[in-house]
Structure 1
Amino acid sequence: MRSPILHPHSNRPLPGRRRATALLVAATLALALGGCIRLGAGKPPASLLTLTASQALAPGNGSSGKGEDALVVYDPEVDRTLAVQRVAVTVDPSNVAYLKDALWVERPARLFGALLAETIRARGKQLVFAADDRAALSQRRLTGRLLAMGYDAGSHAVVVRYDAVRSESGKLATRRFESRVPVARADAETVGPALNAAANAVAGEVADWIG
């Protein structure tokens, strides 16, 4: 025989309606606690991948100049394959998957845009702003489209491919940049550093092109 639900301040059983309410509250609380303890069915990755600039502005250094002469670097456009935080795997020309147990700390476009800005800024030749910076009033812009930033199963290499568009004084210039780094294994521990190296190689070439 089940014990009746007791009022916190009494040893007498609760009336029927209040007993039902107490049961509902108890069930809701149990579900809430279960949601706090069990964060998801899948096991979270051991670490998150990011991009770190190999050419970075040293502490204490900076640039100065007129706002209208600054270069504004925009996050690249991407298709739906790269619009998520998972690491894309090109299986063949018509099939895309995602690398197991690998997640970016942020969207690839955001990471690559920040890497571009920092690499160009590190050259110390010009003011560089991100597109969301309120001080960015210049019409000198670097935009583009990130076509690939993931693992290519066919060539067993990571690939970073970027179509850059430079706008200055009403003139446009475009160029495609690409870097491939072979990898021995298709896992997060191997692919992550290789993607960082490939992205930095592309960012360095873009910085050379910008001048």
Structure 2
Amino acid sequence: MTFVRRSRFARRLASIAHAVPRLAALLSGAVLTLALAGCGSTPTPTYNLSAPSGFTAGGSGNGQMVVVAPTALAVLNTDKVMVEPGPGQVAYLSDAQWSDTLPALLQARTIQAFENASKLRRVARPGDGVNADYQLVIDIRTFALRITDQGPVAVVELSAKLIGTQSGRILAAQVFKAAVPAASTAGPVATAALDSAQEQVLVQMVRWASAKF
């Protein structure tokens, strides 16, 4: 009787020992399958904004200015491309994203726009060690593809303030806006329309600010 019990116990141990490698192999295969599935997912296409060039901006002053990183509400402080399906509604394109968060990207393109307008030695970022006379403060009011009865329209609206560094006073302020129709809501088309609208706004802003400093 004792021999029979031991034999059954031995057979069970042998069965478990035999099953363990198979179970490990199955688990390993499942993990590998999941990893490959994750690697095979299609990444969201990334798009950039461009700085306007081929234009001039006046201004005979010798002041230096820094462009502060633009402020924006949380819905715009992202790398997602915003869509306004209707009044008070917010969505994002699923087939497009910006190459950086919108405020960081817009700050870089604003500085480049000033540089392209022959203001290379007079404009910088905060923290560049420049003893600036002025600060350009920008608030992103709208930067979205707006769905209207006439079709999608890329709308960019920026509020700009020129502040004296020493006095801390607002010396000038203005709102700049541009709207460019988009043929569709597809990522490449929508981002191209938004890029065109922001270029128009930046040209207006650079010419306005350049005349002040």
TM bin, normalised by shorter chain, reads 0.7 to 0.9
1:74–1:141 Cα contact (<8 Å) kept: yes
1:153 aligned onto 2:147? yes
Query: What are the ranges of 5 or more consecutive residues in structure 1 without an aligned counterpart?
Result: 1-12, 58-65
- Look up the match of 1:191: 190
1:181 aligned onto 2:176? no
CA displacement at 1:36 relative to structure 2: 4.7
1:56–1:121 Cα contact (<8 Å) kept: no
Task: Identify the match of residue 110 of structure 2 among 103, 110, 116.
Answer: 116
Query: C-alpha separation between the residues in 1 aligned to 2:183 and 2:100?
Result: 25
SS in 2 for 1:39: helix
Alignment RMSD: 3.1
Query: What are the ranges of 5 or more consecutive residues in structure 2 without an aligned counterpart?
Result: 1-13, 56-61
- When the two structures are superposed, what TM-score results if normalisation uses the length of structure 2? 0.73
Task: Identify the match of residue 49 of structure 2 among 44, 48, 51.
Answer: 51
In the alignment of these two chains, the number of paired residues is 184
- Look up the match of 2:76: 82
2:52–2:202 Cα contact (<8 Å) kept: no
Call closer, same or farther: CA 1:27–1:149 in 2, change over 3 Å. Answer: same
Query: C-alpha separation between the residues in 2 aligned to 1:137 and 1:38?
Result: 53
Query: C-alpha separation between the residues in 2 aligned to 1:157 and 1:148?
Result: 12
Superposition map of 1:21-40 within 5 A:
27=27, 31=31, 33=32, 36-39=35-38
Could you say which structure has the higher helix fraction? 2
Superposition map of 1:87-98 within 5 A:
87-98=81-92
Please say which structure displays the higher CA radius of gyration: 2
Q: How many percent identity over aligned positions?
A: 21
Aligned-partner residue type, residue 140 of structure 2: L
CA displacement at 1:190 relative to structure 2: 0.9
- When the two structures are superposed, what TM-score results if normalisation uses the length of structure 1? 0.74
Aligned-partner residue type, residue 95 of structure 2: D
